[in-house]
Structure 1
Amino acid sequence: MELLGIQFNLAAIISFALRVGLLIILFILFIPIGKKVIVKSIQRAGSSQKVSPTRIKTLEKLLVNVFSYAAGFLFIIMLFAVLNIPIGPLLAGAGIIGLAIGFGAQGLVSDIVTGFFILLEHQLEIDDYITTAGYDGVVEEVGLRTTKIRSFDGTLNYVPNRHIEGVANHSRGNMRALVDMRISYHDNMDEAISVLERVCAAFQEDERFKDGPNVIGVQSIGSSEVILRVVGQTENGLQWECERALRKAIKEAFDKEGITIPYPHHVVIQKSN
């Protein structure tokens, strides 16, 4: 009898281990397959409805995260079933505990609700350059609770969605390339404007510019300089590159024509007794 009891216990242990192992293997296989199905479905739906690539990437990451959370919860429930642990009392207890926690988790609820409306209203998407909540950078991930913003110095900022207010999205539509050039009071303004117009005419053949660039004229008059402004519309994200190219070309043209960039002057009056 004792031998039979040992054999029975060993068989039960082996059966339990096999069920748990099979469950783990199924989920190891299920999660990657589920993620691939989500990604392919989103890409297929996006291509058929002509959704922007950034929108597709945003929805992919969000749905994959939601799927991972749901799969983890399902795994725990099924593991309890394998262990013959009653699920009903646990769910009832979890509901009571969840209600108690909910009163102290208003920030979490606010994050989720705000994240939902951010996605619904298309306020921002992955790869968008934005300014919000005191941060300036490129969106790397939009989640239901937090949004990841990569600053230009490489810092990755985790921003709770409830703190995202007044989003300035710099990645929608064409952007403006603006260059202010200073000339000395001793230089001829009309000649300097003519030089700027020649430089702008050359850049109007540049495919990066959607409109212009054009010389606006005298922007302001400083203590030791006259400021001339050039403005053009560029493809999104290329405005800084175009501004650098304009400054270089204008500086070279000014040097060629003998137009000087001003520097501060100080007048010293010396009185003799």
Structure 2
Amino acid sequence: MDVIKDYDWPGLLTNAGILLLKLLAIILIYLIVRSLGSKIIKHLFQKFEQQNNLSLGRAQTLQGLTLNVFAYILIFIFIVMVLDLFHYDPTALIAGAGVVGLAVGFGAQGLVSDIVTGFFILLEKQIDVGDYITAANFDGIVEQVGLRTTQIRSFDGTLNYVPNRGIINVSNHSRGTMQALVDISVPLEKNLDETIHILQSACDHAAAGLPQIKEGPNVIGVQELGASEVVIRIIAKTENMEQWRVERVLRKEMKDALDRYHASSAQ
């Protein structure tokens, strides 16, 4: 009991309070630096995009990667400062990590493969944020390209996290002009030449009101011949990500044109 009574409790509480204040200060500094650093990086990339005429997708890709690396470095510094606060030598941890790394090296091969693959994806400019791609059995829009994973948003809203090592083949549907393709079925007994003429007139009318169309649309001709109908194919070249809208407009225009033709023929 005498030992407990003689123990310097006020001094101990004072030291604990100082330690807690230092820890809170480190956390506060970490949060401030993270917030300011993120804002500075975003501002610098906005200026870099304007000065170097960089595409929005490419700028967002590089910005996301830089923020990712910045966050990893900041977390590492934060951990080192906290360890130092508790008088634990960070160099001992790093040396121990080297020994432990030998034991878990085989298990970390996947992580290394993710980082290396992600590096080459960025270096070769295979994909950018905003691109419509097919990769690892997923179709969707790229939302983020990171050091370890790539995020792909499917058209039903699902966000897919794909490890970079899983991206073996990439089909990028957002490079260059895209193709709108529409197949129209018409009864076999209808006059084929007249039907093609009507469809082409509808295509020309649609093209006049759609600046997204870069070439065409053109009626290619009969795609398929059935027992009671023929399938006529129409093709147009469009801006990226506008092919579906153009297809919808073309279907409506051609349906309306054929309805008018059939109505006038019935009179």
Distance 1:75 1:198 in 2: 67
Inter-partner Cα distance in structure 1 for 2:149 and 2:111: 10
C-alpha separation in 2, matches of 1:163 and 1:4 = 60
- Where do 5+ consecutive residues of structure 2 fail to align? none
Give me the whole-angstrom Cα distance separating, in 1, the residues matched to 2:170 and 2:10.
Answer: 67
Q: 1:212 to 1:101 in 2, by over 3 A?
A: same
- Give per-residue Cα distances to partners, 1:188-235, cap 9 Å, x unaligned: 001101101211221232212111111112222123211211111111
Separation (CA, whole Å) in 2 of partners of 1:81 and 1:196 = 76
Is 1:73–2:93 an aligned residue pair?
A: no
> Is this contact kept in 1: 2:203–2:253, CA < 8 A?
no
Partner of 2:23: 20
- Which residue of 249, 260, 264 maps to 1:245? 249
**How far did 1:4 drift?**
9.3
Match 1:110 to one of 95, 110, 113: 113
Counterpart position of 2:54: 51
SS at match of 1:204: helix
One-letter identity of the residue aligned with 1:12: N
Amino acid of the residue matched to residue 18 of structure 1?
L
Indicate yes or no: 2:140 matched with 1:137.
yes
* Residues in 1 aligned to 2:204 and 2:68: alpha-carbon distance in whole angstroms: 50
Q: Which structure 2 residues correspond to residues 180-191 of structure 1 after superposition, within 5 A?
A: 180-191=183-194
Aligned partners of 2:187 and 2:7: how far apart in 1? 104
Name the residue aligned to 1:147: 150
Deviation per CA, 1:140-197: give whole Å up to 9, x if none: 1111111111111111111111111221111112111111111111110011011012
What is the aligned-residue identity percentage? 48
TM-score, normalising length: structure 1: 0.89
Structure 1 gaps, min length 5:
260-273
Please point out which of 145, 170, 174 is paired with 2:177. Answer: 174
Match of 2:100 among 83, 87, 97: 97
Which of 13-22 and 132-141 deviates more?
Answer: 13-22
C-alpha separation between the residues in 1 aligned to 2:222 and 2:245?
24
Q: Which residue of 2 aligns with 1:267?
A: none
Structure 2 counterparts to residues 213-228 of structure 1, below 5 A: 213-228=217-232
CA offsets per residue over residues 5-27 of structure 1, 9 Å max, x none? 34433332232222222111111
- 1:33-61 superposed Cα distances (whole Å, 9 cap, x missing partner): 11111111122112211111111111122
Structure 2 residue aligned with 1:207: 211
Q: Give the partner amino acid of 2:212.
A: R
**How many residues are aligned here?**
258
- The CA deviation string for residues 100-123 of structure 1, in whole angstroms up to 9 with x for no partner, is 212222111111110111111111
Compute the RMSD of aligned alpha carbons. 1.7
- Report what 1:263 is aligned to: none
Corresponding position of 2:63: 60
Q: Residues 187 and 229 of structure 2 are in contact (CA less than 8 Å); yes or no, is this contact kept in structure 1?
A: yes
The amino acid across from 2:249 in the alignment is A
CA distance in structure 1 between the aligned counterparts of 2:168 and 2:249, rounded to whole angstroms:
34
- Deviation digits for residues 228-252 of structure 1 (CA, Å, limit 9, x no counterpart): 1111111111111111111111111
